[in-house]
């Protein structure tokens, strides 16, 4: 049977799912490297490209015929095809073999930040500045191309030992709402991950880059504190805290957080978009001028 995920989604237990074929068309599946609510991610070898290492994102077999999940993969390819930046994962193609829809994409051999945070934030300090700078570059590029990621979280950021970053999972990215959309108050489904959603995202309001700035602030907070800014007894409690609770001070969780870094995080996590930095370009400039955590000699 499946099991409930921490964010309320349903995760499938791979031991009870139908077995996958060893090969999807020209791609040989080597090993599973990720499991989400509706998709698996595998390391593979693309035989039509001289056994090049690739990553394969496929819908779990139990949901392979789900039109909504297929649409998400197709949308993710569309978004990725409009982007071109070394900090964003590249997607080669959408394919279907044996009734299994999947994406073939760039393989980047690094753990996501959620796993690395769980192992201890102290180990991240030497590469912290590079991680946040490269993530900001990725988001700035997306915003410049007119997209809001809408699911910025540690799980969706891969980081190598030297701090090199790849932003992944573009499935729910949406076009930034322009002036007219905001003026008319257009509503959108409240999609995202509860621990990192901006107040306006929770309310289903029109979104722009400042929503990703809020989510990115939550990620930086967790990189420093070892936990997200808000936790709750249940999902509703958690979402209500994003909307109305006082912004916590990151230096209350990590005494080595700098005063300047803590102050800037409070601005990124402001409830009103107008009180946050105006753009990711502004965030990037500020992150390059301050230190988030003081390095302590061991």
Place of tokens 């990215």: 173
Residues 206, 177: Cα–Cα separation, whole Å: 6
Q: Quick one: pLDDT at residue 187? A: 58
- What pLDDT, on a 0 to 100 scale, did the predictor assign at position 180? 39
What's the confidence (pLDDT) of residue 116? 98
Summarised one tens digit per residue, pLDDT across range 198-247 is: 999 999 999 999 999 999 999 999 999 999 999 999 999 999 999 999 99
Q: Phi/psi at 205 (nearest 5 deg)?
A: -85, 170
* Structural domains for the chain: 3-106 (3.30.200.20), 113-287 (1.10.510.10)
Share the mean pLDDT of the chain: 91
Over residues 262-294, the pLDDT tens digits come to 999 999 999 999 999 999 999 999 999 999 999
On whether the pTM is more than 0.75, the answer is: yes
Structure-token match 């949406």, residue found: 174
| Residue linked to tokens 């001028």 | 289
pLDDT in tens, 124-146: 999 999 999 999 999 999 999 99
Q: What is the pLDDT of residues 79-134, one digit of tens each?
A: 999 999 999 999 999 999 999 999 999 999 999 999 999 999 999 999 999 999 99
pLDDT band at 188; cut points 50, 70, 90: low
- Give Cβ neighbours of residue 7 (< 8 Å, ≥ 6 apart): 193, 194, 195, 235
Q: What is the pLDDT of residue 37?
A: 81
């Amino acid at each position: 049977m499946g099991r409930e995920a921490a964010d309320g989604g349903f995760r499938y237990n791979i031991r009870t799912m139908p077995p996958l074929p060893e090969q999807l068309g020209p791609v040989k599946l080597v090993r599973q490297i990720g499991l989400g609510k509706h998709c698996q991610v595998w390391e593979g070898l693309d035989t039509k490209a001289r056994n090049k290492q690739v990553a394969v994102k496929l819908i779990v077999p139990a949901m392979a015929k789900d039109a909504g999940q297929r649409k998400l993969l197709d949308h993710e390819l569309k978004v990725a095809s409009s982007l071109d930046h070394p900090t964003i994962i590249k997607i080669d193609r959408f394919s279907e073999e044996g009734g299994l829809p999947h994406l073939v994409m760039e393989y980047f051999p690094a753990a996501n930040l959620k796993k690395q945070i769980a192992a201890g934030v102290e180990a991240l300090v030497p590469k912290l500045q590079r991680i946040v700078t490269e993530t900001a570059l990725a988001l700035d590029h997306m915003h410049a191309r007119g997209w809001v990621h809408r699911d910025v979280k540690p799980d969706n950021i891969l980081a190598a030992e030297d701090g090199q970053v790849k932003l992944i999972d573009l499935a729910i990215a949406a076009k930034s709402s322009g002036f007219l959309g905001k003026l008319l108050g257009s509503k959108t489904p409240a999609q995202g991950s509860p621990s990192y959603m901006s107040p306006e995202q929770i309310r289903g309001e029109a979104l722009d880059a400042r929503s990703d700035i809020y989510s990115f602030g939550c990620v930086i907070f967790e990189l420093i504190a070892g936990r997200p800014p808000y936790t709750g007894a249940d999902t509703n409690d958690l979402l209500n805290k994003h909307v109305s609770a006082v912004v916590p001070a990151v230096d209350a969780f990590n005494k080595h957080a700098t005063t300047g870094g803590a102050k800037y995080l409070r601005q990124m996590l402001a409830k009103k978009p107008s009180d946050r930095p105006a753009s990711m370009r502004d965030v990037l400039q500020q992150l390059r001028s301050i230190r988030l955590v003081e390095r302590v000699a061991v």
